[in-house]
Amino acid sequence: MQNCKFLIHLILLALLASCESTQNQEQAKQKEVEVTITKDTTALKSDEFTETKVNKSSSFSINDTLEDLVNYISGRNDHEYKTLSKFRKEKGFLEFSEHFTKRWKKFDSTKLKNIKTFVSGDFKNYAEVKNVFYPFSGPDVLYSTTLFPNATKLSLIGLEPVGTLPIIDDKDILPDSIHKYFGKINTSLNAILNFSFFRTVSMKEDLRNEEVDGTIHLILLFLNKTGHKIQSIKPFYIDSLGNKYYVKNTSVLKNKKYKNSSIEIIAATENNISKTITYTSTDLSDAGLYRNKGLKQYLSDLQFETTYLKGASYLMHKPSFSKIRNIILENASCVVQDDSGIAVDYILNDKNKWEFNLFGEYIKPINMFAQHYQPSLDSLYKTKGAKKLGFGLGYNYRDKNSNFMVIKKARS
């Protein structure tokens, strides 16, 4: 039970305040749901929560309590904590902080640096989009915000649970709990930092345990490490009509009656651009969408411009994922993907005409997915040619010139 209570107490008021501050601005679809708060999630007193502006020229304010939390999750020992100073001295935190700071510095100065160079160069015109849809993402807000730094709306969807917002309870917390928590955080980062994608099999264990019980932990960590400041975190679910309902805290989402459990994070970039990041836990297979009538309407309401697909397990090559494939082809004006996204034959045979801009090179899929080799894509790369990518991405991450496609719907 001690691990269940790890990080339990500090954030509730922040969540309540952020939900209430926008309640009157929401449309009829976005109705507030009253939920009973249990004893384990008692809110702090109002004078323990403050907001400060990012700078004088902006009306964007950050939540100090949430900022302390996300800096703590990220192992930031250079942050001036207002609420968690006591816990930054714990051995588990200090060990993670030292190890991860070095690990991130290397990752940022190599992999991310190369991607940012690409984004500011050959990818510059495509990176300007504002509304990005990223299905089969897991908690990968890292690559999506790096590739699309100007996006103000980013919608992630995966099978993994949202999880409960980590909160500190200074009465019950034990050093051993902190050590276990950061041990699990460290393990869950291995795939994305080493391979550039999350492995589905690993996520079943890494994001479904007592300490790290969902995607929210890594989403907050990545936002913090990429320079974002947090304004609010609001959990919600999507009903059978596609309506969006906010609830009072992430623990509520564990109730099985709430379908399409989701989280909405409002954050500001280092350039003070406000953006909305959502993650929804749901099944995008044809069978899942058949049982989930409201999700299709919700996806339509997103009005996304660009769909991003990476490390998507070649699911949309299969007939059993035809519905989400068709939703993307019907609604998106641009698809940015590697070969694990939508099979090229579906795009070539679509009723709409699409234009291909190719980067890197196409080589056969790794052995696990060898059956998804695409002769049509191989032919496209050979006949159209491609610009150099310069870094590894997706399942062929070891190749520093992986395949990367920008596929735009032709104007009629």
Contact 64, 82 (CB under 8 A): yes
Q: Which of 208, 244, 211, 204 is nearest to 26 (CA)?
A: 244
Q: Exposed, middle or buried: residue 349 (CB in 10 Å: 0-12, 13-18, 19+)?
A: exposed
Q: Which of 206, 204, 196 is nearest to 395 (CA)?
A: 196
Q: Which two tokens stand for residue 177?
A: 């709990």
Helix (H) or strand (E) holding 156: strand 153-158
Distance CA 156, CA 158 (A): 7
- The whole-number pLDDT of residue 42 equals 26
- The whole-number pLDDT of residue 385 equals 92
DSSP class per residue in 277-315: EEEEE---SHHHHHH-HHHHHHHHHH--SEEEESS-TTG
Q: Which two tokens stand for residue 197?
A: 């994608």
Distance CA 39, CA 210 (A): 19
For the question of whether the overall pTM of this predicted structure is more than 0.75, the answer is: yes
Q: What is the pLDDT of residues 27-81, one digit of tens each?
A: 333 433 333 222 222 222 222 223 333 333 444 566 778 888 899 988 898 888 8
Q: What is the pLDDT of residues 169-217, one digit of tens each?
A: 444 555 567 777 877 777 777 665 555 444 444 444 544 556 677 889 8
Distance CA 249, CA 187 (A): 26
- The whole-number pLDDT of residue 298 equals 95
Checking phi first, is residue 311 left (phi over 0); if not, alpha (psi -120 to 50) or beta? left
Distance CA 188, CA 411 (A): 42
Residues of the chain with pLDDT under 70: 1-62, 166-176, 190-211, 397, 399, 412
Residue 364: CB atoms within 10 A of its CB come to 13
